[in-house]
Structure 1
Amino acid sequence: MSETDRIEKSIELKAPLSRVWKALTDHEAFGTWFRVKLDGPFVPGEVSRGRVTYPGFEHVEWQAVVQKMEPERLFSFTWHPYAVDPNTDYSQETPTLVTFTLGATATGTLLRVVESGFDKIPACRRAEAFRMNDGGWAEQVRNIAEYLAHG
């Protein structure tokens, strides 16, 4: 695995595991901080669909396949990273895997986000997808922290 195959972000959140878990896995809570309007709850093995609400990206459809939901420990899904061009069919690409791992700390919860599999993205868009998602995950860990601080 190369150093451009995975993105890792960690943040210590001042909230108990149960609140962080709900923020990650309740589709409405997730949608609030992630900025996506989801059609329904996350269900392992099923496709999650919706529409991005982040300004400038409202044309982007959200689609991910929920892989695992291990309460208060792990939540994962696969998706097509930076799939923002409505005229491009991303369905033949190998999706990346996004994994949220939670662990209790003395003052709250350590959240670790890993997105892996970029080396399998077509070369013509790999670097841009990696760059955009690297910045995106940096913003999203701040978003969940802010959501939990004010929720």
Structure 2
Amino acid sequence: MNTTPHDATLTTADGRSALRMERRLPHPPEKVWAALTDPAALRAWFPAEVTVELTPGGAMTFRFPGAGADESGLTGTVTDVEEPRLFAFTWDTDHLSWTVTPDGEGSLLTLVHTFGDRPGAASFASGWHLCVDALARLLGGVPAVPARERGALHESYIGRFGLDRGTVESAEPAGPGGSDLLVRFERQLVRPAETVWAVLSAGIEPVAGLPVPVGFTAGTAPEGPVTEVRAPRSLTYTVAPHSAVTWELREGTGHGARLVLTQTGPAGWDTDAALAAWRTRIEELAVALVNS
């Protein structure tokens, strides 16, 4: 499997993100159009089974593999149909636009996926990467089942889109003097919470009142006493009288748990050092999870 990202960009404005991906295909637009819009062809490469009324305003349904007979799946609405150039639709709260333009003897396929969950962008990009690879195989007359991905492709998009970076915010509620700061990271991981917790704890289960296992620490946040733990979902420990670290493993995009890590500190705290230390620690965790 090719783990080099396709020609992809991510932009964000007004709380919505747009993932744009391009793929050149050695097939005429009419052939690509049929693979994009025929439910029988979609079934071979798209991540869900699709029914569609191929007209603006037409209804769409998306049923995922393994869904029970009583599960209705997600719904959408066709927003644009311009054969053989443009097919666009909503998918729950997201919007997808597929554009096919002539490119020599072949076609240029462009996907723009607009969504609200920016930290999930690497999941969406790696998922579409594999789907478009499967589409290309289908058009070439070879088996089109999307490949399984262990996480390396996902992590390549994390780096490409800068999703490994943290932020500095005002802590709410504010600490003494009203000037506490908060370093925050939110990162989609590629393994479930139970696996992430096992890697972090390394066999030493955190206990309230005892020093936190070293896997939960970083260079600027050494071992301190655990104040709250709810395995395998959250842990808080204190670093100093006015500093605490919290790990949360929330529901994510389906690729794995969503990590939200925060550290609070007083005014004048070296947040740059904390950002660098936690970025390194989370990257180490991400690598360990891909290799797990």
Q: In the superposition, relative to structure 1, how do residues 52 and 43 fare at CA in structure 2: closer, same or farther (>3 Å)?
A: farther
Q: What letter corresponds to residue 52 of structure 1 in structure 2?
A: F
The match for 1:99 is 97
The match for 2:146 is none
Q: In the superposition, relative to structure 1, how do residues 32 and 41 fare at CA in structure 2: closer, same or farther (>3 Å)?
A: farther
Q: What letter corresponds to residue 99 of structure 2 in structure 1?
A: T
Work out which of the residue numbers 31, 41, 61 in structure 2 matches 1:19. Answer: 31
Aligned-residue CA RMSD in angstroms? 2.2
**Alpha-carbon shift at residue 128 of structure 1 (Å):** 4.7
CA distance in 1, matches of 2:81, 2:36: 10
Query: Contact between 1:31 and 1:37, CA under 8 Å: does it hold in 2?
Result: yes
CA distance in 2, matches of 1:51, 1:29: 15
- TM (normalized to structure 2)? 0.39
Cα deviation, 1:114-138, whole Å, max 9, x if unaligned, reads 112x3xx3xxxx2453232121111
**Alpha-carbon shift at residue 73 of structure 1 (Å):** 0.7
**Alpha-carbon shift at residue 141 of structure 1 (Å):** 1.4
CA distance in 1, matches of 2:38, 2:129: 21
Q: What letter corresponds to residue 130 of structure 2 in structure 1?
A: E
Work out which of the residue numbers 44, 50, 57 in structure 2 matches 1:38. Answer: 50
Q: In the superposition, relative to structure 1, how do residues 71 and 45 fare at CA in structure 2: closer, same or farther (>3 Å)?
A: same
CA distance in 2, matches of 1:62, 1:139: 21
Report the secondary structure of 1:20's partner residue.
Answer: helix
Runs of 5+ in structure 2 lacking a partner? 1-10, 143-292
- TM (normalized to structure 1)? 0.72
Q: Percent identity?
A: 26
The match for 1:47 is 59
Largest Rg, 1 or 2: 2
Report the secondary structure of 2:22's partner residue.
Answer: strand
Q: What letter corresponds to residue 102 of structure 1 in structure 2?
A: V
Runs of 5+ in structure 1 lacking a partner? 81-94
CA distance in 2, matches of 1:51, 1:96: 16
Cα deviation, 1:38-75, whole Å, max 9, x if unaligned, reads 3454332122114223xxxx338242211111001100
The match for 2:86 is 74
**Alpha-carbon shift at residue 6 of structure 1 (Å):** 0.9
The match for 1:110 is 108
Give the structure, 1 or 2, with the largest relative contact order (CA under 8 Å, sep 6 or more).
1
CA distance in 2, matches of 1:39, 1:102: 21
Work out which of the residue numbers 23, 28, 32 in structure 1 matches 2:40. Answer: 28
Instruction: Kindly tell me the number of residue pairs found equivalent between the two proteins.
Output: 126
CA distance in 2, matches of 1:70, 1:22: 12
Q: In the superposition, relative to structure 1, how do residues 110 and 76 fare at CA in structure 2: closer, same or farther (>3 Å)?
A: same
Q: What letter corresponds to residue 77 of structure 1 in structure 2?
A: F
